[in-house]
Amino acid sequence: MPPSPSHPSSSEADAVQRLAALFRVHGWHVEVESGEPSLKSDLIAHKQKFHYAVELKSVGEGRPDRVIALLSQAILQAHRHAEGLGLQPLAVVHVGQASASLLKKVQQFHSDYAPDVAVGLVSGDGACQFIGPGLEALNAHAPQRAGNEKLAQPRKASDLFSDLNQWMLKVLLAPELPERLLNAPRGEYRSVSELAEAAQVSAMSASRFVRRLQEDGFLEESGRAFRLVRRRELFRLWQSSALRSAPELRMAFLIPGSDIRQLQKVLPSLNACVGLFAAADLLKLGHVSGVAPYAYVRRLRPPFPGGWPGLAPAKRGESPQLILKQAHAAESLFRGAVNVDGLQVSDVLQIWLDASAHPARGAEQAELIRHKVLSGVIEGVA
pLDDT > 70? residue 44: yes
Nearest-Å Rg of the Cα atoms of the chain is: 22
**What is residue 73's predicted lDDT score, i.e. its pLDDT?**
92
The tens digit of pLDDT for each residue in 304-316 reads 556 788 888 888 8
Please give the Cα distance from 23 to 17 (Å, whole number): 10
**What is residue 178's predicted lDDT score, i.e. its pLDDT?**
96
If DSSP states are collapsed to H, E and C, what string results for the chain?
A: CCCCCCCCCHHHHHHHHHHHHHHHHCCCEEEECCCCCCCCCCEEEEECCEEEEEEEEEECCCCHHHHHHHHHHHHHHHHHHHHHHCCEEEEEEEECCCCHHHHHHHHHHHHHHCCCCEEEEEECCCCEEEECCCCHHHCECCCCCCCCCCCCCCCCHHHHHCHHHHHHHHHHHHHHCCCCCCCCCCCCCCCHHHHHHHHCCCHHHHHHHHHHHHHCCCECCCCCCCCECCHHHHHHHHHHHCCCCCCEEEEEECCCCCHHHHHHHHHHHHCCEEEHHHHHHHCCCCCCCCCCCEEEECCCCCCECCECCCEEECCCCCCCCEEEEECCCHHHHHHHCEEECCEEECCHHHHHHHHHCCCCCHHHHHHHHHHHHHHHHHHCCC
Interval 343-369 mean pLDDT:
89
CATH number assigned to the domain covering 160-241? 1.10.10.10
Domain 10-154 -> CATH class: alpha beta
Interval 295-299 mean pLDDT:
91
pTM: 0.67
Please give the Cα distance from 171 to 180 (Å, whole number): 14
Please give the Cα distance from 154 to 13 (Å, whole number): 31
pLDDT > 60? residue 60: yes
**What is the overall mean pLDDT for the chain?**
84
| Least confident among 63-67, 162-166, 206-210, 253-257 | 253-257
Task: Give the residue, 20 or 13, on which the prediction is more confident.
Answer: 20
Q: Which pairs count as long-range contacts for 83-86, CB under 8 Å and 24+ apart, including other chains? A: 85/41, 85/44, 85/53
Interval 3-28 mean pLDDT:
69
**What is residue 169's predicted lDDT score, i.e. its pLDDT?**
97
Backbone φ, ψ for residue 85 (5° rounding): -105, -5
CB count within 10 Å of CB 312 equals 13
**What is residue 83's predicted lDDT score, i.e. its pLDDT?**
87
Question: What are the structural domain ranges in the chain?
Answer: 10-154, 160-241, 248-379
Q: Which residues sit opposite 53 in a β-bridge?
A: 44, 89
Interval 123-147 mean pLDDT:
76
